[in-house]
Amino acid sequence: MSQSQRRRQNRRQIPPEVTSVSSAPKVIQAKKANEPRSPHQLALSRWRLPVMLAVLVGVGVVAGVWGLPTYWMMQAEKALSSGRYLEAESYFEQVQRLQPRNAMAALGLSRAARCAGDPSRARALLSIAQSRGATSSQTNLERDLLKIQSGGSAAMIDQLTSMLVESPEYGGEILEAFAVGFETLGSPDVAIQYIDDWLSVAPTEARALQHKAELLATLGQVDEAEKTFDAALRFDASLVRARRGLARLKLEAGKNDEALTLFDAAIASNSADIDSRLLRCSTLLALRRDEEAMKSLRAILDLDKFNFAARHSLASKLAEHGKPREVVAMIQPLMAEFPDDVSLNYLLASAFTELGEATKAEGFLEKHLEGRKQLDQLGRLKQQLKTNQSDGEGILKLALGYLMYRWDESEPWLVRAIAELPDSPAPFRAMASFQRKKGNIRRANEFSKAAAAKSG
């Protein structure tokens, strides 16, 4: 039987009893009111009960009787189910501030990271949850979902039915994990089928619409992707990924004014959204509004002093405008963390050449050329890995090389290294270094803690 036939068969076998709005696929059939309820339906009812009680009793009683940590955990779950991952993360972190050893808060942060598309961080947080006493029964589903999302969807397709039956409250996350997994395997057309299953019983689920729009964009169906992003935002205007995704589509289509309006709206809702700010700068450059773009890049540096992308972009524009001294001033603060980066060394070599400082220019040019040689070797290693894509040590070597010579291309290789070597501390230490270079000290500490847990 072919893989596609097996997928279709499994999709047909998804049990009709799985009727959770967040979980059930297309084949759901309503049961009669007097029909006996299956065990997993009863489990679903039990899962819904605390939420119903919270609504009936009220937020004040929940906070007063069960305490702030329990209240925050409930708020985090609510935000997580709605796709508001940063909000969910903030609630889980508030729990951790009061209860630093709370395993379920760390497990919740792992789920938030996985749902937000950050599997490496999710694995790091899962290790922290285990070190705090989370049991295997609490972590097994999360581990399976991470494996599925990281490309294990085809290998685990036979488990889809049992997963939906055993964990109906996580049905939406399970279907989304399979979608992400097939997307990772390079099959967005297959991935979209699992999102459609989710939408068949939850047509107004904004998070599902957001993901479907992203898949449609990947498939080149731009008009449908725009409509689906619009639909997601109608149901939940707070979805940052949907707004940014729609703006990016407008930018790629040359609809720069529309893109700018959307980026402005995203930044208005979250002034610390660096990604939207950087994309807004790209839009301004596309509109040939260089001075405004450079001013916006400086505003990013006010928020994130050592932001690599902002400093590099601003230095490049300063070079174009013939301001070598400003290029040097912009790049030099990065050199302590990125001494071998080929692009930075090239910018400095060019700037010092214009300034007539030949000795300094020659030194940076030599480092640039040495970096180019190393990148050529990494390119050959990348070709070798095409025939052995599960070579974790080779992937880690490639990641470490890019971390040194072309830092901004290292992250996807670090993610793959962690996926292939989940029990080794080495890729977690490397990701900690990446996050530290990026300026995200909190995430660097999370990966360092995970590496320490892996080291025993």
Domain ranges of the chain: 1-184
What crossing angle do the helices spanning 425-438 and 441-454 adopt, rounded to 10°?
170
Q: What is the mean pLDDT of residues 307-334?
A: 93
Q: What is the mean pLDDT of residues 251-274?
A: 88
Kindly report the pTM of this predicted structure.
Answer: 0.69
Would you say residue 397 has pLDDT above 70?
yes
Q: What is the pLDDT of residue 306?
A: 86
Q: What is the pLDDT of residue 95?
A: 93
Judged on CB neighbours under 10 Å (0-12, 13-18, 19+), 304 is middle
Alpha-carbon distance of 92 to 95, in angstroms, equals 5
Q: What is the pLDDT of residue 221?
A: 93
Q: What is the pLDDT of residue 456?
A: 66
Q: How confident is the model at residue 329 (pLDDT cuts 50, 70, 90)?
A: very high
CA distances from 312 to 97, 152, 444 (A): 36, 37, 22
Per residue in 155-188, pLDDT (tens digit) is: 999 999 899 888 888 888 899 999 988 988 888 8
Q: What is the pLDDT of residue 11?
A: 45
Count of C-beta atoms within a 10 Å radius of residue 114 = 25
Q: What is the pLDDT of residue 54?
A: 40
How many residues does the structure list for the chain? Answer: 456
Residues with Cβ within 8 Å of residue 8, at least 6 apart in sequence: none
Which residue stretches of 202-273 are H helix?
A: 206-218, 222-235, 240-252, 256-269
Q: What is the mean pLDDT of residues 314-334?
A: 94
- For 14, which DSSP code? S
Q: How confident is the model at residue 328 (pLDDT cuts 50, 70, 90)?
A: very high
Q: What is the pLDDT of residue 271?
A: 83
Residues with Cβ within 8 Å of residue 137, at least 6 apart in sequence: none
Alpha-carbon distance of 64 to 17, in angstroms, equals 37
Per residue in 45-56, pLDDT (tens digit) is: 343 434 333 433
Would you say residue 35 has pLDDT above 70?
no
